[in-house]
A = this chain, B = another copy of it.
Amino acid sequence: MKQFNNVTVLLEGNSYFDGAVTSRTVMFEDGSRKTLGFMLPGEYEFGTDAAELMEIVSGELDVKLPGADEWQTIKSAESFNVPANSKFQVSVKVVTDYCCSYL
């Protein structure tokens, strides 16, 4: 199984939408940061500060990217990019495990 070595993990996790979206923060030696999280079924809107790469580890969701007219389905092992300072919507059908990299 893929793993991240020599990283720092914060004890305290992050919880949004009454715990329907939760994540833990992982910091790397090069100063970069990822969050590893779960989304439960539901519809959510997120805002970005930095640009993000969202990788779906398991599960599936539909995403409506900034400026897009249509939703696209993102499955396990697929990913999508979100620009900085933008908003995007996701519709989650099944418990979804994700890895978000801040670019």
A: interface residue count bin: 20 to 34
Is B5 a contact of A8 with CB atoms below 8 Å?
A: yes
A residues lining the B interface (CB < 8 Å): 1-13, 15, 18-20, 22, 24, 26-27, 36-38, 40, 57-58, 95, 97, 99
Q: Which residue of B lies closest to A25 (CB)?
A: B3
Given contacts A7-B7, A24-B24, contact A38 B12 (CB under 8 A): no
- 10 additional contacts, CB 8 Å, given A11-B99, A12-B57? A1-B10, A1-B12, A3-B10, A4-B8, A5-B8, A6-B6, A6-B7, A11-B36, A11-B57, A19-B95
B residues in contact with A20, CB < 8 Å: 40
Q: What are 7 of the A-B contact pairs (CB < 8 Å)?
A: A3-B8, A3-B27, A13-B97, A15-B38, A18-B40, A19-B95, A24-B36
A22-B38, A38-B22 known; A11 vs B4 contact (CB < 8 Å)? yes
